[in-house]
A and B are shown apart, each in its own frame.
Chain A
Amino acid sequence: MDAQFTVSLALIVATFGLYIGIAVYNKARATSDFYVAGRGVPPVFNGMAIGADWMSAASFIGLAGTVMILGYDGLAYIMGWTGGYLLLTFLLAPQLRKYGRYTVPEFIGDRYRSNTARLIAAVATIIISFTYSVGQLSGSGVVIGRLLEVDTMIGTLIGVVLIAFYSAMGGMKGITWTQVAQYLVLIIAYLIPVIFMSLQLTQNPVPWLSYGEVISEMRVLDQELGISEYIVPFTEGSKWQFIALMFTLMAGTAGLPHVIVRFYTVKTMKAARWSGAWALLFIGLLYLSAPAYAAFSRFILMTQVAGSSLGNLPAWTEAWVDTGKLSLADGNGDGVLQWTELVISNDIVVMATPEIANLGIFIIGLMAAGAMAAALSTAGGLMIAISAALSHDIYFRSINPNASEKKRLSVGRWSIVLATVVAGLVALNPPGAITQIVAWAFALASGSFFPALLLGVWWKRANGPGVIAGMIVGLTVTLSYIFASKFGGFTILGIIDTGAGVFGASAAILANVIVSLLTAPPSQQTQDEVTDLRYPEQIEYKNGEYWLKKVK
């Protein structure tokens, strides 16, 4: 047991103790605590909680690596995942908050007056959150695997046990305040190494301003090597793939149940708007830094690792080769490692950075704690979403409406444990890289929830049969496109599986509009409820009249 192991383990155990302490202290006592944290979370803190909920292991571990490997084409992830908050905050979140339910499927079921729609939405929530959580679990596997220097698979198993235990502990209330703490841990862990790297490479402590310099130098290096340049657009895929992926990520963000439900935890529509603004500011700190990471890491790899002889590589490379995430094959047998002979998994760029830049054992431990915080906070939010869909939307609203509070809470907790274990088993052998698994979840969300919510809020003529047709068609088109392009080589305009959401969303909107128009309009009461969503809580729309009310 070396010093590094001890420091990392101590930091992880300490942050774990903190999270569990917070979760126990804020334990849910009532159903509204369990699902929506009693609706009393102030916007700034909700912004942090959204940030932690949102920034997954994929963002923390994989994003900078994806941007490094894909160059310009990786920026679709940066713009897509931040731009989603525009759609969410402008078009959906405040209105959904005013409608005042516990879950997203519940909104869909009650707005469209359809139990079938609620059940489809609940099943879609479970599928999407489940896919997404597989990414979290294999992400925590990378961290633990590296930390304990064991195989990633064993790392994943340890992560599953930790997350199941942790997320079954508290309800939404506990998770909210834990996520605030996790946000702080993960953002500090993310920013410190990139600031140090910026200082080392450019003598400028502000990475966001300094990496332009490194990019200019890399353009020269790329040209000397004759490889495709880092900043040149559309080297990895077509322009339409870039745009389709960006759209899919935006619409998927706006449709992810575990993110939307965070907007249910505030008091008013006004608080929902401010939550969205704070959330994107906190999220932006990480997303603005990822391209800086990518540029610095690529520069160091190009100048310090590539070109050295195989017997003389930096010590950190060895540990990463052991986890199977880095491969250094001397293809032409000249004893020197060329840039093109270096195969680096996008998962390790951030995690290896402190070692690459030689930042010392404390920072390496902090990174591990930060990555765990990112995986845990998102997994926590996802597990609540899955459990709410199972225990509230399916069990309570459809199977046993007379269940006692105690019974409902216990069904919720057990469904969390079950979901985590099953997701963990899939994560043992994840199909594709973390970022890709997560991108599929986005395609599914943009093909099902985004159209249903958008039309539900903004078009009062949309009705039950319309939304059922929309969700089924959207999911079918998205899934078929993913499989056709991934395994059958079928593409339109070069758009591959990760951009499938653009077709799913269009098909779902079309189906919803056509079927709604062909069937009877919703009742006047439903239409009035939708009109009511246009206004803040102080105005109530009823029977064609607007009423001003006092809000306490």
Chain B
Amino acid sequence: MKKMNPERAKAYFRLRTTLICIYLGIGVLVSFVVVLFAENLSSFTVMGIPLPYYMGSQGAIVTFIVLLFFNAIISDAVDKKFGLVPKDDPEEKDQAVNQ
């Protein structure tokens, strides 16, 4: 065990928290905000479906999935940047064996 610079640890937490706030903001935008303005957005259509219906049935869900994968990939990159990746990642090994 060695000591970590507290400023660096705090910077890590700030960065992760900021990213999470951005993701949640986008999530709220595609779901709650679209619902809030549903009547006004009904004149726009996507693939023959009015925009609010399209967002509720496909757009929002696809955005959620993309956000979660984005989060997983970017968090891994952030961990790496802060030197937090164990040399021998046990879980990647497990996956390789199972695939």
Q: Which residues of A contact B (CB under 8 A)?
A: 40, 42-45, 67, 72, 75-76, 78-79, 82-83, 85-87, 89-91, 208-209, 212-213, 215-216, 231-234, 239, 242-243, 246-247, 266-268, 270-271, 273-274, 276-277, 280-281, 284, 287-288, 291, 534-536, 538-541, 544-552
Contact = CB atoms under 8 A, between A and B. Distances in A.
Given A86-B67, A208-B58, A539-B4, A277 B72 contact: yes
A272 to B, nearest CB: 10
Given A42-B91, A86-B24, A281-B65, A538 B86 contact: yes
B60 A273 contact: no
B32 interface: yes
Nearest to B32: A243
Contacts of A40: 94
Contact of B57 (A42, A233, A271, A291): A291
A276 B72 CA distance: 9
Nearest to B50: A231
**What's the dominant secondary structure at chain B's contact region?**
helix
B39 A233 contact: yes
Given A547-B3, A547-B4, A216 B48 contact: yes
A364 B42 CA distance: 37
Those 3 A-B pairs whose CB atoms lie nearest each other, nearest first = A75-B56, A212-B47, A212-B48
Contact of A547 (B1, B12, B98): B1
Contacts of A545: 3, 6
B65 A75 contact: no
Contacts of A85: 64, 68
Given A79-B60, A277-B71, A536-B84, A546 B53 contact: no
B72 A86 contact: no
8 contacts: A76-B56, A90-B23, A239-B35, A273-B68, A276-B68, A291-B58, A534-B16, A547-B2
Chain B interface extent, by class: 35 or more
A233 B88 CA distance: 52
A405 B50 CA distance: 58
Contacts, number: 165
Contacts of B36: 239, 243
Interface in B16-30: 16, 20, 23-24, 27
Contacts of B95: 42-44
Given A86-B64, A91-B20, A75 B57 contact: yes
Contact of B56 (A79, A91, A213, A541): A79
Nearest to A290: B57
A45 B64 CA distance: 20
Given A42-B94, A75-B57, A550-B86, A215 B49 contact: yes
B58 A277 contact: no
Contact of B32 (A209, A246, A284): A246
Contact of A43 (B39, B79, B91): B91
Contact of A267 (B13, B48, B71, B91): B91
A469 to B, nearest CB: 27
Nearest to A282: B65
Given A78-B56, A216-B48, A266-B91, 10 more contacts: A82-B65, A86-B68, A208-B58, A212-B46, A231-B50, A233-B42, A288-B57, A288-B58, A291-B58, A551-B86
A86 B27 contact: yes
Contact of B72 (A213, A247, A273): A273
B76 to A, nearest CB: 7
B69 A277 contact: yes
A544 B3 CA distance: 11
Contacts of B68: 85-86, 89, 273, 276-277, 280-281
